[in-house]
Amino acid sequence: MPKERIGYRRLYDSIGCSLLDQEELYVVVPMGDINVEVYLGSKPKFGIAVSHSDKYVVPGAKALLMTTEFKKDATESSHPRNFFTEIICTKLVDVPQELSDAFHANDQNAHKTLLSIADQNATLLKASTDLIAGTIGLRFHRQFVLEVLNENIIVMRDKDDYVINFTGSRLEVLENVALNLNGIKNLGQFLQTIGQATPKAHEFVASTLVWLLHAWAERDSIFKFMALFIPIEIVLAGYGGNQEQEKEKIERATQIRNLLDKHGGADSNHLLSFFNQLFGQQRPSLASRFNEMAKESQIEGWEADVEAFKRFNSIRNNLLHRGKRKIELAISVGKEETSQLEDIAERYVSRILFKDSVVYQSRWRHQRSRSQKD
């Protein structure tokens, strides 16, 4: 079975960077079955695509739709700077003979098929890119990998002949939002009420809401997903978990202490001290504390929120503690799931900070109810 080389390329704008005494640096790094090419200079191998567009589209308003300029020689592009860091990660994959023959015959359908295969391997290739880029930024300087300009899936036909995809920045379609007279009145009153709170309350609310602000503006689905957990964790600080579970933990801890006291021998005091230290560090899980908060709030649909949060928390823990960046990403960190987590964060943060769960967004809940009606 023939093999074809597929890959992933990331191009960084290395703002303010240069090389002393030479114009370019090229390094090849074998990493198992992945081959990594690192280029620093003004002429990256796969050129540069410069896109121009608005970030948001408001219905009825004039918007700058995306325009893209591609230059094989990056120095000929309209980009204002000309020093880049390019990281290319490739690997060989087995493909059917018919597909390989069609690809080398420049068949367009074969191009699409192989690009699709490359995309299916992108998670592993991106992880290798993250490793190299992060190392350059940490050990040398962050400005070498400061701003991502292009990300591409590639398939190599030979050294200088390849198929590559180009994607630009995403456009988000916004809603037309207008405050009515009642909303205008309430906004003024609400802000005046907040102003009268204590400095300690201001500090707590600000430390929570700053993370919602970050999450609302975030375009990357994984980072948005992760950022939404922080305000939830902050408001859960006052919850201790299910009382029955806590009672069971205390009873089991007592049994362990008795065993250590009776059978620990000469080291029993040290073992008891160590166990007490460990037990004192235990906290109820985030999921159990969210369950307690949701049950106490009695917000409509809280039972479903608890089940959804358990799943999201499991994905988040895998991402944090196991480094598994592809944990059901296609299913569990898609647009609908991120919107659902965002809805949960908004309603429960509002419930804890402002004593009600009324939020203007509730996008996911609104979309769900609308789709059920349709």
pLDDT given for residue 374 in this prediction: 37
98: in domain: yes
Residue 65 has what pLDDT? 62
Residue 55 shares a structural domain with residue 160: yes
Contact, 361 vs 349, CB < 8 A? Answer: no
Work out the angle at residue 66's Cα, subtended by the Cα atoms of residues 111 and 174, and round it to the nearest 5 degrees. 115
Regarding whether 201 and 116 lie in a shared domain, the answer is: no
- Judgement on whether residues 369 and 247 belong to the same structural domain of the protein: no
Asked if 77 and 122 sit in the same domain, the reply is: yes
Coil/strand/helix, residue 196:
coil
Closest CA to 339 of 253, 170, 225, 245: 225
Residue where a domain stops, chosen among 228, 254, 280: 280
Q: Crossing angle for the helix pair 97-104 and 108-120, nearest 10 degrees?
A: 120
Domain count for the chain, please give it.
Answer: 3
Whether residue 235 is found in the same domain as residue 115: no
Q: Please tell me whether residues 232 and 103 are part of one structural domain.
A: no
In this structure, the answer to whether residues 79 and 143 fall within a common structural domain is yes
For residue 8, the tally of other CB atoms under 10 A from its CB is: 25
Is residue 266 domain-shared with residue 138, that is, in the same domain? Answer: no
Per-residue burial over 362-374, b if 16 or more Cβ lie within 10 Å, else e, is: bebbeebeeeeee
Residues of the chain with pLDDT under 50: 324-332, 361-374
Please answer whether residues 270 and 277 qualify as being in contact, where contact means their C-beta atoms are separated by less than 8 angstroms: no
Q: What 3-state DSSP class applies to 103? A: helix
User: What confidence score (pLDDT) does residue 336 get?
Assistant: 76
Return the sign of the alpha-carbon dihedral for residues 212, 217, 125, 133. negative
Has residue 169 been placed in a domain? no
pLDDT at residue 6, as a whole number: 96
With respect to residue 334, please indicate whether it lies within any of the assigned structural domains: yes
Pair 252, 291 in one domain: no
* Helix and strand totals (H; E) in the chain: 14, 10
Whether 89 and 214 map to the same domain: the answer is no
Q: Looking at residue 152, what is its pLDDT?
A: 94
The answer to whether residues 131 and 198 belong to one domain is no
> How do residues 133-183 score in pLDDT, each as one tens digit?
999 998 999 999 999 999 999 999 988 889 998 765 566 667 776 778 887
Give the start-end residues of each E strand in 120-278.
147-158, 161-164, 172-173
Three-state secondary-structure class, residue 233: helix
Kindly report each contact of residues 116-120 with a partner whose C-beta sits within 8 Å and lies 24 or more positions away, as own/partner.
117/6, 117/93, 118/6, 118/7, 118/8, 118/153, 118/154, 118/155, 119/153
pLDDT at 14: 95
CB contact set of 261 (below 8 Å; sequence gap of 6+)? 268, 272
Are 114 and 95 in contact by the 8 Å Cβ rule? The answer is yes
Task: Tell me the C-alpha distance between 13 and 150, whole Å.
Answer: 9
What's residue 36's pLDDT? 95
pLDDT digits (tens, 9 = 90+) for 261-270: 777 787 777 7
* Single residue among 131, 164, 197 that ends a domain in this structure: 164
Question: Residue 52 falls within a domain, yes or no?
Answer: yes
> Taking the C-alpha atoms of 193, 198, 200 and 206 in order, what is their torsion angle to the nearest 10 degrees?
20
Q: How many angstroms from the chain centroid is the CA of residue 210?
A: 17
Which phi and psi angles does 36 have, rounded to 5°? -110, 130
Same domain, 119 and 214: no
Please tell me the pTM assigned to this model: 0.70
Looking at the domain assignment, is residue 172 inside a domain? no
Q: Buried b vs exposed e over 266-287: b needs ≥16 C-beta within 10 Å?
A: eeeeebeeebeeeeeeeebebb
In this predicted structure, what is the pLDDT of residue 66?
62
What is the predicted pLDDT for the residue at 278?
75
Domain membership flag for residue 183: yes
| CA–CA gap between residue 217 and residue 224 (Å, rounded) | 8
**93 is in which domain, residue-wise?**
3-164
Q: And the tokens for 56?
A: 């948001």
